[in-house]
Amino acid sequence: MSTREKQLELITGLFCDLLRESNPNRLQVGLSDLFVQINPTTGEVSLFSDEDELLGSCTIFSWAKGNDSDYQAVVAEALPILREAVAILEQRGWWQHNLFERPFSVELVSQDFETIEELLFLDDDLVKVTTPLLQGLNEDLDKFLADLLGDLK
């Protein structure tokens, strides 16, 4: 298993722990915002509720850079993994659980809880789609159009 796959598994597991029956700290009340925070010194990834309550954490040692000055480098390394984990759970319908109230968002935040990037936004009528969900779409559309137009010739 590659380092990327291990990181993805850890992050996905961290999100899944929010609802896991065996987790004594699992979500019990509705949540409208979920904040993801990375500590660049330790590599700890923490999930916070919309009331800034710690919901869970895990450590990804390859993201531990030893000091806060490398924060941007950690974010640049972590962001694709976080996006992919959130997208995988969205594809599985995991965010449809009734404890995730609408509108609902997942955001990567700084140590001061300032938004760095919105990873997911769900509303009853709107889903903000991230890049991993759209991967391969251009190729599929090009193939479809080629097949469609090929029949016209």
Per residue in 105-131, pLDDT tens?
A: 999 999 899 999 999 998 876 555 555
Of residues 111 and 153, more confidently modeled? 111
Mean confidence (pLDDT) of the chain: 84
Asked whether the predicted pLDDT for residue 55 surpasses 80, the reply is yes
What does the pLDDT read at residue 128? Answer: 56
- Can you name the residues that pair with 46 across neighbouring β-strands? 37, 57
What does the pLDDT read at residue 116? Answer: 93
CA distance 48 to 112: 12
Token pair listed for 145: 């159009």
What does the pLDDT read at residue 144? Answer: 75
pLDDT in tens, 81-103: 999 999 999 999 888 888 888 89
* 8 Å CB contact between 10 and 44: no
Please name the helix (run of DSSP H) or strand (run of DSSP E) that holds residue 143, with its range, or none.
helix 137-152
Asked whether the predicted pLDDT for residue 132 surpasses 80, the reply is no
What does the pLDDT read at residue 4? Answer: 87
Predicted TM-score (pTM) of the model is 0.77
81 CB burial (10 A radius; 0-12, 13-18, 19+)? buried
CA distance 145 to 31: 42
